[in-house]
Amino acid sequence: MKTPLRIGIAGLGTVGAGVLKVLETHADLLEMRSGQRIVVTAVSARSRSRDRGVDLSTVRWYEDAVALASDPDVDVVVELIGGSEGIARDLVVTALENGKHVVTANKALLAHHGNELAALAERRGVALALEAAVAGGIPVIKGLREGLAANAIKEVHGILNGTCNYILTEMRETGREFGDVLAEAQKLGYAESDPSFDIDGVDAAHKLAILTSVAFGCPVDFAAVHIEGIRHISALDIEYAKELGYRIKLLGIARRNNGGVEQRVHPAMVPIDSPIAAVDGVFNAVVADGDFVEKVTFVGRGAGAGPTASAVVADLLDVARGRIAPVFGVPSGRLARIHTASPEERRGAYYLRLMVVDRPGVIADVAAALRDENVSMEAFLQRGRAPGEAVPVVLTTHDTDEASIQRALTSLESLEAVLEQPRLIRIEQF
């Protein structure tokens, strides 16, 4: 009989406690599936007294998480501390250097240091497994790296941040403004007290950078991700989106374009009948488009103790089964440096909302600014009249170059009758 696979877990917050729970609940099932008993031999966490619902009396405790990486009775380190630097990074580096497998849910660490860490893991011949870092419980890393491995991927896009998707869904369903819904989400525990990582798109960008690498076989390049968050989305935009047949989602999109790959995180309008439009609340979704398989969609819970623990333990099973794959699908040394396509190279449709003074000639000026950049309008909405006051004017464009629409925006901003910064939301036809 095989000796047990010995696990050390660093970080016993919600997800860590979830991992303990899965390993305890399904000890026999997991052994049957992997052919090896999985046992927790060591943990590290701030509070030793907190009740995590699992008996930890026989487990070694470390004050210093990094010391866990040198425990001879640990085969696999599960890193659930988080953060791209500091303890989490030291722990992972030390564990890999010591020839221990690492399973992590840390997207920030991988987005910033994934390339060096992957190379280190390969040199040591150990796993660096990261299913839990992207889209929580959805097995999308495995799906891309193995399930769709027969394809060249043309595009991968998705809803990668449950907090933003929850806020946008609530805004749509209740008609309330962003700040109001955010405050409620914080109260309910769906948003952090400092929500900026989520609502400014940084978390989604971390995940997108990892997905891009796995999908296209290129090094992780977080700096290349164009990032816009959802703070500026107003109830008005959501209302107009409905009227125009769209929903607003914070999307991560990585797409082959002009021989390179563009990576973008921003709010986008998607047609109401596209599969991703129906993914609401805290759910995540990833759509991969392969040259043979065409579009495959994965939907599920992107966060939470159970779903994230499910992904962590799936990675542990892969380690137990001896399945150690190159982190990003191909050996680090063979990751192709693909040129980064600038978001300026995007071609697509746009939604524009202007607040203008309601007086004669304003619409003509707006139309002229667009015409001068060869931007052709598809729809134009102006309702009600309020002479001399501010009214919203909304328009959508036919496919146009991002550079053109940006130049048109600059002209529009300079018009005296345009009162606020115009709002631009990209339209994605999936």
Q: How far is CA 421 from the centre of its chain?
A: 27
User: Which residue among 73, 173, 243, 294 contacts its own copies (CB under 8 A)?
Assistant: 294
| 41-to-57, 77, 128 alpha-carbon distances in Å | 10, 10, 19
Q: 14 a known binding residue?
A: yes
Active-site residue (options: 154, 207, 242, 295): 207
Is 281 an interacting residue with respect to its own copies (CB under 8 A)? no
Closest CA to 37 of 320, 318, 311: 320
Pick the closer one to its own copies by CB: 188 or 278.
278
The bridge status of strand 101-104 relative to strand 128-129 is parallel
Beta bridge partners of 426: 268, 350
Name the residue nearer to its own copies (CB basis): 35 or 82. 35
Task: Please tell me whether residue 275 binds its own copies under the rule CB under 8 A.
Answer: yes
Which CB, 197 or 298, lies closer to its own copies? 298
> Taking CB under 8 A as the criterion, which residues in 197-226 touch its own copies?
217
Residue with Cβ nearer its own copies (17 or 202): 17
- Applying CB under 8 A, which of residues 11, 16, 139, 229 lies at the interface with its own copies? 139
Site residues for its own copies, 333-362, by CB under 8 A, read: 334
Candidate list 33, 46, 339, 371; residue touching its own copies; CB under 8 A? 33
Rounded distance, CA 234 to CA 239, Å? 9
Instruction: Tell how far CA 161 is from the center of its chain.
Output: 5
Residue 379's Cβ-count burial label (10 Å; 0-12, 13-18, 19+) is middle
Nearer Cβ to its own copies (175/281): 281
User: Of residues 27, 149, 183, 188, which one binds its own copies by CB under 8 A?
Assistant: 149
- Which residues partner with 77 through β-bridges? 8, 102
Strands 400-401 and 347-357: antiparallel
Q: Please, what is the minimum distance in Å from the beta carbon of residue 413 to its own copies?
A: 39
Helix (H) or strand (E) holding 247: strand 246-257
> Where would I find the beta strands (DSSP E) of 37-100?
38-44, 60-62, 76-79
CA distance 407 to 370: 9
Asked if 261 and 131 touch (Cβ cutoff 8 Å), the reply is no
Q: Is position 142 annotated as part of the catalytic site?
A: no
Least distance between its own copies and beta carbon 423 (Å): 29
296 is a contact residue toward its own copies (CB under 8 A): yes
Instruction: Tell me how many helices (H) and strands (E) the chain has.
Output: 14, 17
Nearer to its own copies, 113 or 301 (CB): 301
Annotated binding residue 17: yes
Q: Calculate the alpha carbon distances from 323 to 32, 266, 315, 319, 320 in Å.
A: 16, 35, 9, 6, 8
When asked if residue 272 is in the footprint of its own copies (CB under 8 A), the reply is: no
Nearest alpha carbon to residue 286 among 165, 110, 415: 165
Tell whether residue 16 is among the known ligand binding residues. yes
Which DSSP state fits 224?
Answer: G
Q: What is the DSSP letter of 128?
A: E
| Two structure tokens written together for 334 | 């063979």
Amino acid at 38: I
Q: Is 123 one of the binding residues for its own copies (CB under 8 A)? A: no
Q: Is 4 in the site for its own copies (CB under 8 A)?
A: no
Minimum gap (Å) between residue 21 Cβ and its own copies: 8
Residue (103 or 417) nearer to its own copies, CB? 103
Residue from 7, 10, 22, 42 in contact with its own copies (CB under 8 A): 22
142 is annotated as contributing to ligand binding:
no
Does residue 107 have a known ligand-binding role? yes
Dihedral sign for Cα atoms in the order 233, 234, 238, 243: negative
Is residue 12 a known part of a binding site?
Answer: yes
**Alpha-carbon distance 113 to 220, whole Å?**
8
For its own copies, which stretch binds (CB under 8 A), given 25-33, 82-90, 225-233, 236-244? 25-33
How far apart, in whole angstroms, are the C-alpha atoms of residue 304 and residue 9? 17
- Which of residues 17, 168, 233, 299 is near its own copies by CB under 8 A? 299
User: Is residue 137 close enough to count as binding its own copies by CB under 8 A?
Assistant: yes
Minimal distance, residue 279 CB to its own copies, in Å:
8
Binding-site annotation: residue ranges = 10-17, 107, 192
Catalytic site residues?
Answer: 207
Q: Name the site residues for its own copies (rule: CB under 8 A).
A: 18, 21-22, 25-26, 29-30, 32-35, 131, 137-139, 142-143, 146-152, 217, 273, 275, 278-279, 290-301, 306-307, 309-314, 316-318, 321, 323, 325, 329-331, 334
Binding-site annotation: residue ranges for NADPH = 107
